[in-house]
Chains A and B, each alone.
With several copies, the nearest count.
Chain A
Amino acid sequence: MRYSSVDNFTVQELMAVFLARQLKDGDHLQVGVALPVPEAAVRLAHIMHGPNMELIFLGARMNVHQLEQLPLPEFGWDNRVVRWAESYSDRGHRFDQVKDWYRRVFFIGGVQVDRFGNTNLIGIGNDHQRLDFRGPGSVGTATLTAHVGRYYIVLNNHTPRLLVEKCDFISAFGWGDGGPDARKRLGIPGGGPQLCITPLCVMDFAEDTKCMRLMSVHPGVTVDDVKDATGFPLEISDKLTTTKIPSLEELTILRSRVDPHGSLRS
């Protein structure tokens, strides 16, 4: 989706800039494969306000704040990103220091996401051994979402089939059946999903119920657009706003230093 504003930015660019603003200096940022919006967001944040961020890609740890360009990888498994490494984050034992993942920030998608931020990468259907749609699998999401300090659900689409009342399977536990102690009751230490960012809007989770709640709509999108595209009754924040558009500086840095090849504009 391309906005016809003065800046003529795309919704992917809007999402990346929004997400970059959520990231704090000192965060350890782990991006999975094939997620260009978070990939761009962590690079932009690192350049703009995160000299002490740590970027974790493909098992390598890096701090590349001083580099002139931090271009997006050409494809998911582009190992050239490890040329920036200062160390390897796992050295053959990926999960030997999850204790310190309270500093980590993670980004997750899904084939289904429910109103409590539980996500499904297993598949759609009733019978696990004969699914209607077989998903790619959980990757590391069950483990990462259990331990990271906070995470963001980032979706490339916003449809009623994707944002559902209840996932057929849960591969990453968000807020379970709801309530602020949903995770604590199960002894899950990580801070849980914070926001869900889609091409239409940004949703947070209501403090008391941990139900997904419309927080801001992107420029040109109406509340009804979002409601129609969502498979569950959506709460609306009483502070509902329009998603803040990228500043000139943000967009300039994004395009010149992070996404010179225009991946987010195609």
Chain B
Amino acid sequence: MERQSVLATEDEVVNWIEDGMTIAIGEPAPMAMVRHIIRNRISGLTIIGSGIALDYLIAGGCVSKVISYYAGGGFGVAVAPSFRHAAQTGELEVWECDEGVLTSGLEATAKGLPFLPWRGGVGTSLPEVNKDLRVMEDPINGEILLAVPAIHIDVALLHASKADVYGNVQHQGGPGWIDLFLRRAANRVAVQVEKIIPNEEVRSDAWATTISNADAVIRAPYGAHPFYSRGHYVQDKKHLKLYVDAATLAVTGEQTYIEEYFRRHVYQTTSHIMYLEVIGITRLLSLHEY
């Protein structure tokens, strides 16, 4: 009898994901898996995510609802273009929240509770535009709070520095702020990593283990590209501008550029490694952190 490895392929993990599920996207963005979801034409998803990484999935036609605190843009646009367009036309349902409201709902799930109270958002429009939030009086002092319902996640997809094959994950420079909230609230978690390390390296610094019992570990060097991965590379601004420009044109009716973008980077490739070949080693190595 042996201890079982949880090392998995992109295909194995994408097979967990069914149309209509709630999928959480961490930060740094697990772009290898994001692209694989788009490539597999999964649709009707509820996405917990933010920024341009969220925008990819919307542009890719995968999303019908977002639970998002932030979909900012950059590269000349104030708001992620596909998100903005789909939200304005009503194609996309937006579960409006702020970070503290979202994490309260995630913590409720992780703690096995139907709700958690939160003060941030009292006095704002959040409970008006999001009917799942209830204004409540606390049962002890009668203070006004928001009751945030438990938010459930079917699969959380995260990107990190390294992991052993048993699902012990270690981040360099700290995990993204929301990743551990997502992990704790998710039924299953798959973590892309830059590098697989031996179990002995995990044990040598157990405090550095940020996630244990990941359900799958996927080897994906440069797997956050075109975003950053702490300790490894910075974001690829040129590539992101390419995407943002194409997506911005698409919502004005000019679909050519975004179609070409997805064809070249997603549909014509079948795996993350093939994607990296398209990007090219010269570009990748130019993204060094320091």
Contacts and interface: CB of A to CB of B under 8 A. Distances in A.
Interface of A: 25, 33-34, 49, 51-52, 54, 58-61, 63, 65-66, 75-80, 82-101, 122-123, 128-147, 169-173, 176, 183, 186-189
Contacts of A101: 112
A137 B235 contact: no
Given A146-B119, A186-B123, A138 B98 contact: yes
A75 B74 contact: yes
Contacts of A122: 96, 125, 129
B111 interface: yes
B21 interface: no
A142 B129 contact: no
B54 to A, nearest CB: 10
Contact of B119 (A94, A132, A135, A147): A147
A140 B69 contact: yes
Contacts, number: 226
A222 B68 CA distance: 41
Q: Chain A interface mostly helix, strand, loop or mixed?
A: loop
Interface residues of B, number: 78
Interface in B143-157: 143-144
A188 B119 contact: yes
Contacts of B110: 96-99
A177 to B, nearest CB: 10
Contacts of B120: 95, 140, 142-147
A2 B108 CA distance: 49
A92 B181 contact: yes
Given A51-B2, A188-B123, A99 B184 contact: yes
Contacts of B118: 143
12 contacts: A54-B213, A78-B228, A79-B289, A96-B184, A97-B110, A98-B111, A128-B96, A137-B72, A137-B96, A142-B121, A143-B99, A169-B125
Interface in B184-213: 184-185, 199, 202-203, 206-207, 209-210, 212-213
A85 B206 contact: yes
A86 B180 contact: no
B282 interface: no
Interface string B115-135: 000111111111001000000
B79 A147 contact: no
Interface string B273-290: 000000000000000011
B100 A130 contact: no
Nearest 8 Cβ contacts at the A-B interface = A143-B120, A143-B100, A92-B180, A87-B209, A173-B123, A138-B98, A142-B98, A140-B99
Contacts of A189: 112, 119
Contacts of A33: 72
A136 B235 CA distance: 20
Contacts of A92: 175, 177, 179-181, 210
B290 to A, nearest CB: 7
